[in-house]
Amino acid sequence: MIYPEFIRKNEVIGISAPSAGVGKKIDDFERSLAVLRKRGWQIKETASVRLNSDRGGDAETRGKELTSLFKDPEVRMVMAAAGGDFLLEMVPYVNWNVLKKHPKWLMGMSDPTGILFPYVTNCDVAAFYGLNGGSYDIEPLPKFVKNNLEIISGNLIEQKSFSKYMKTPGFLAEKIEFDTPDRWQCTEKTLDVSGRCIGGCIDVLKDLIGTPYDGTKKFIKKYQDDGIIW
């Protein structure tokens, strides 16, 4: 498996909108970019990122814009601008050969599972199911966001469970508030597992099944000795 180089200070993060544009939340998006810039990174956006639309452009445009960030030698890491519902429309228009030829860290969450999963299982390149480019606008920054910033910088910190979670899903909540104590249930007193972690948003994964972008069987067979964690 290919593990791209981690992004360093003064290098460029490329952001495209393979799912929704961020036009409905421009102020939030600007706050998010400010957090990334404060870490010393530069930002390069594709043309459709700020569209006020549930689709960041037509499917072909979205595919070409994502591909362009992998072609661009200045871009060291690629992020999806936002989640949404219609990313799978653009997957056939991604030039997957280009993505495989120019491996870079790719990150998103939710709907961007539709590009993250094929990138990992078909291109054999590691990726982050983490945050979207517009997801750093939470003030003050929660620990999970701070952890994300450390990890994409190459500081592979040990992650631990948090004591509370959000009872209301983030996309429905008026504000980010971790208000409900977590609880772990297991049939064993201790449990140790290891393996390669794949997965993402199950609502997206189900639509990849049986398509040319579903490289699950091939990936699991190749890494069966390592174990697979979903």
Pairing of strands 42-45, 196-197: unpaired
Asked which of 74-78, 150-154, 175-179 is least confident by mean pLDDT, the reply is 175-179
pLDDT per position as a tens digit, 180-197: 999 888 888 888 999 999
- Residue 160 — very low, low, confident or very high, per pLDDT cuts 50/70/90? confident
Q: How far is CA 82 from the centre of its chain?
A: 9
Backbone dihedral region for residue 161 (phi beyond 0: left; psi -120 to 50: alpha; all else: beta): beta
Q: Report the share of the chain in percent with pLDDT over 90.
A: 85
Q: Report the share of the chain in percent with pLDDT over 70.
A: 100
pLDDT of res. 72: 99
Which of 194 and 172 is assigned the larger pLDDT? 194
Position 25 pLDDT exceeds 90: yes
Position 10 pLDDT exceeds 90: yes
- Residue 209 — very low, low, confident or very high, per pLDDT cuts 50/70/90? very high
**What is the total residue count of the chain?**
230
Q: What average pLDDT does the chain have? A: 95
* Mean pLDDT across 65-93: 98
SS3 58: coil
Residue 5 token pair: 């180089």
Q: Which class for 38: exposed (0-12), middle (13-18), buried (19 or more C-beta within 10 A)?
A: exposed
**Model pTM?**
0.94
Instruction: Please tell me the distance from the alpha carbon of residue 70 to that of residue 16, in angstroms, as a whole number.
Output: 11
Position 175 pLDDT exceeds 80: no
Answer yes or no: are the C-beta atoms of 105 and 74 closer than 8 Å.
Answer: no
For the chain, domains (ranges, CATH) are: 12-229 (3.40.50.10740)
* Mean pLDDT across 68-95: 98
Which of 146 and 191 is assigned the larger pLDDT? 146
